[in-house]
């Protein structure tokens, strides 16, 4: 059985996330998703999520490509997770290109950077929503 692992926040789940999960699962038999906890996002990434860890976990568990969701509580846990779950391949979006090459040196897992879905990102969604909200607020003030 070939085991794959990926990491992420998966807030505001969209089709780019689904594409990544589908493509990761296609690379093996069992997909583990390490989901960033609320505390990790806040303290280490300076990021507040819209949905709580538990809600994001429920969403991921409902996706047919995902076999197991585990908490990501620190940047340093990846090597331990890969050894603990006997992972064959670490998969992440190519926006992280080169950042996790050390995993291939410290474990038996291959490191694979998958191309992102180009026209979608959580950051872009948040930006677009912010612009729309500002335009709506401005319009109501003018009227």
Residue range(s) defining the domain that contains residue 31: 3-117
> Is residue 125 in some structural domain?
no
Our count of domains for the chain comes to 1
The number of CA neighbours under 13 Å toward the Cβ of 27 is 24
Residues 6+ apart with CB under 8 A from 5: 31, 32, 33, 34, 81, 82, 85, 87, 89, 90, 91, 109
Q: How many CB atoms lie within 10 A of CB 126?
A: 13
> Is residue 7 in some structural domain?
yes
> Is residue 49 in some structural domain?
yes
> Is residue 134 in some structural domain?
no
> Is residue 132 in some structural domain?
no
Average pLDDT over residues 18-42: 97
- Per the listing, tokens 């998958």 go with 114
pLDDT band at 140 (very low <50, low <70, confident <90, very high): very low
pTM here?
A: 0.85
What pLDDT digit, counting tens, does each position of 35-88 carry? 999 999 999 888 888 899 999 999 999 999 999 999 999 999 999 999 999 999
The distance in angstroms from the start CA to the end CA of the chain is: 63
CATH of the domain at 16: 3.40.50.620
Active site members = 45, 47
């Amino acid at each position: 059985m070939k085991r794959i692992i990926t990491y992420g926040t998966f807030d505001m789940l969209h089709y780019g996330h689904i594409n990544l999960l589908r493509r990761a699962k296609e690379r093996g038999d069992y997909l583990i998703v390490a989901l960033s906890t609320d505390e990790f996002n806040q303290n280490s990434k300076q990021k507040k999520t819209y949905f709580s860890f538990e809600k994001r976990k429920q969403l991921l568990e409902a996706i047919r490509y995902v076999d197991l969701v585990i908490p990501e509580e620190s940047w340093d846990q990846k090597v331990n997770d890969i050894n603990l779950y006997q992972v064959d391949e670490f998969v992440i979006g190519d926006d992280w290109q080169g950042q996790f090459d050390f995993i291939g040196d410290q474990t038996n897992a291959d490191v694979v950077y998958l191309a992102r879905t180009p026209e979608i990102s959580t950051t872009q969604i948040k930006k677009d929503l912010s612009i729309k909200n500002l335009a709506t607020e401005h319009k109501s003030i003018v009227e």
